[in-house]
Amino acid sequence: MRSLLNCTKLRTPLKAHSLILRTTTMATSYSSSSLLLSPSVSLNKSRNGSSLGFSVNRSRVSMSVSAGSQTTVNDSLFADYKPTSAFLFPGQGAQAIGMGKEAQSVAAAADLYTKANHILGYDLLDICVNGPKEKLDSTVISQPAIYVTSLAAVELLRVREGGEQIINSVDVTCGLSLGEYTALAFAGAFSFEDGLKLVKLRGEAMQAAADAAKSAMVSIIGLDSEKVQQLCDAANQEVEEADKVQIANYLCPGNYAVSGGLKGIEAVEAKAKSFKARMTVRLAVAGAFHTSFMEPAVSRLEAALASTEIRSPRIPVISNVDAQPHADPDTIKKILARQVTSPVQWETTVKTLLSKGLKSSYELGPGKVIAGIFKRVDKTASVENISA
């Protein structure tokens, strides 16, 4: 899924996620490694063994589980979060031949690819390093590839001087579309293995939904979101219901993705210049992601999520659906299922983090898409890329 424009310089192509691409148990870690349960987490058991509880330093999380009852978590636990250091994870479109090669120098990172091979049933590292490009770019391959490589980047950071300290200082995380799954794995909401199984199914379900109808996506460059909405409204007046379009990704100022039926997308492209758009870029994606065209994928995701153990994250994880952190596992499951049919609120997420006083950010995984977005919103924003 490639094709979109750099949010740092709108004339420069960049890689992004499933919408905007290069142009154009209890408290376990996300893997057998120590990524999730850092020294800041403590586990406690009651005398009679009937209940368990855990807490995270700096009052990040506090909850209890009683035997024979459901976990009770206040979903607004993180509502007043005050971010200082963030881990940011890329989405589909960030993939590139050669990613994962550096990760083989660190045992914990290399181990993630070995585990992935068993879950996926193919040699993921070989495709990441050697391609072919067309195979790596496919929805069913690129999503697991980016998920694994991004978490491998965390392990590369861990062995760097001062890396463990950086990891332990992170108090908020988020990811662009697919990257939300990576963020949840890092935050301990589910294991590395369970997260990968979900991502594998997600990619397959989205591809199947895209194959079921003629749809497409286009990036609109140089207009604010209000103007892009007006452009969509104008295009929708000329097409049937099945071909209607909508904004699917609020990426950054001047760069929004529109998704919908093929005829609707063609109408948007034809009218864009009359709305003073600088340019349009048809995205090389399988279909109309983050719209109702993905509805067939929802039931498959709901079934998979229902059978997956999801815990309250140890730090806030910002949702793509509403740009808010959620603590309740059931709510997280519902939001992940809705995510594929809902517009991505990335611009709001970035602006909120910066307005709340975020000091330092790290983009973990392939590409530098997110760093470009942050710079587009605030030229002074600091984002360091950690690749693998």
Please list the active-site residues: 177, 290
Considering only CA atoms, which of 301, 129, 302 is closest in space to residue 199?
Answer: 301
Residue 258 falls in which region: left (phi positive, over 0), alpha (psi -120 to 50) or beta: beta
Instruction: Reduce the DSSP state of residue 244 to 3 states and report it.
Output: coil
DSSP assignment letter at 240: -
Tokens at 353, concatenated: 């983090």
Give dist(CA 228, CA 84) in Å, integer: 33
Torsion of CA 105, 31, 194, 87, to 10 degrees: -80
For the chain, how long is the longest CA-to-CA vector? 72
Give dist(CA 57, CA 264) in Å, integer: 51
Q: Where are the alpha helices (DSSP H) in 32-169?
A: 107-120, 124-130, 133-137, 139-159, 163-169
User: In the block, which residue shows the tokens 């596992």?
Assistant: 329
Instruction: Reduce the DSSP state of residue 120 to 3 states and report it.
Output: helix
